[in-house]
Amino acid sequence: MRSTSKILVTGGAGFIGSHTVVELVNAGYEVVIVDNLSRSEVMMLEGIETIAGKKIPFYQIDCLDKPALDKVFAENGISAVIHFAAYKAVGESVQKPLEYYKNNVESLITLLQVMEKYKVKEFIFSSSCTVYGQPDHIPVDETAPFKRAESPYGATKQMCERILEDASSINFRVVSLRYFNPIGAHPSTAIGELPIGVPNNLVPYITQTAAGIREKLTVFGNDYNTPDGSCLRDFIHVVDLAKAHVKTLKFLASKPDGGMLEAFNIGTGQGVSVLELVKTFIDVTKVNLPFVIGPRRLGDVEKVFADPAKSNNLLNWKSEYTVGESLFHAWEWEKRLKSLK
């Protein structure tokens, strides 16, 4: 049995990464952050340190830069890696597929090569429900076959999971966490989702529209085979999602030596439509939110939500926050951002 102590978090200044760093520190782990800040800002690192009450070692490097990664491993006794560093926007990936393949797939290979050199084998991968494509059965569990991905982003996650499957045969100890739709912000409002430019994700677009930064929200499609015609998703609070990584480290540490591969859905198990989400936001914030119905968007899956039974049982993890609480925290974060401008 092993215990993991110093954890390398790539993409640790990002949305999910920053919240995970906070939960790791809360659980007593030492953390080292790697992030190139291409999709984040220094204020996220400051927010992490505000909540944690201490400075966290940080390297501003790209995971495609092998010599720089080598230096991180040489200078720190890394025992496990949580890999968030990736481009993540479905719509953008359709427009820029080659950038997504290079960044998401090549950075994983580079990281694994450096890990192998330093004999670091414990690896948690930030995967996605997009690996399932449009599943045959809802809710979807981990045994569902991968369908052809609806976007280059989803395809990169499928490819990375296949690479990790093969890595597990050479003694890497891999857990892929397949996130559903993370939303919200830390209740302290010290960290949250920080889109650069026009948001690619739904909730920051909602909060920016409510704050008057965007003119209106477009709901992409109302003619899907769902109760109200809009896409159905599993929205999970980012703090709940972050806590799953702490549970996963403990799960890895409890297992005997040798290669292993596991995958877990990290979701609430509840399907919520885009239109339901919009209405819930209006209800919990009492803020006007102008929105219109637009055409379907290329790359969007009609409906997907999790069967989280495996993560509930084997990781001893389950979501705790409601969608309403998630949206309220996202709005409080948006208000804080607006006050800083």
- Tokens for 313, please give them: 């049982």
* Predicted local confidence at residue 330, as pLDDT: 98
Which residues does the chain have with pLDDT short of 50?
Answer: 1-4
Which of the following CATH numbers is that of domain 6-185+235-267+308-320: 3.10.20.30, 3.40.50.720, 3.40.50.360, 3.30.70.360? 3.40.50.720
| Domain ranges across the chain | 6-185+235-267+308-320
29 is a catalytic site residue: no
**Any residues with CB less than 8 A from the CB of 90 and at least 6 apart, and which?**
130, 150, 151, 153, 154, 200, 299, 300
For residues 219 and 297, give the distance between their C-alpha atoms in angstroms, rounded to a whole number. 9
* 104 φ, ψ (degrees, to nearest 5): -75, -40
Nearest to 246 by CA among 306, 320, 175, 310: 175
For residues 214 and 216, give the distance between their C-alpha atoms in angstroms, rounded to a whole number. 6
Per residue in 6-39, pLDDT (tens digit) is: 999 999 999 999 999 999 999 999 999 999 999 9
Q: Which of 29, 87, 100, 153 is catalytic?
A: 153
Nearest to 258 by CA among 175, 171, 176, 174: 171
Nearest to 303 by CA among 138, 93, 90: 138
pTM comes to: 0.96
* Predicted local confidence at residue 300, as pLDDT: 85
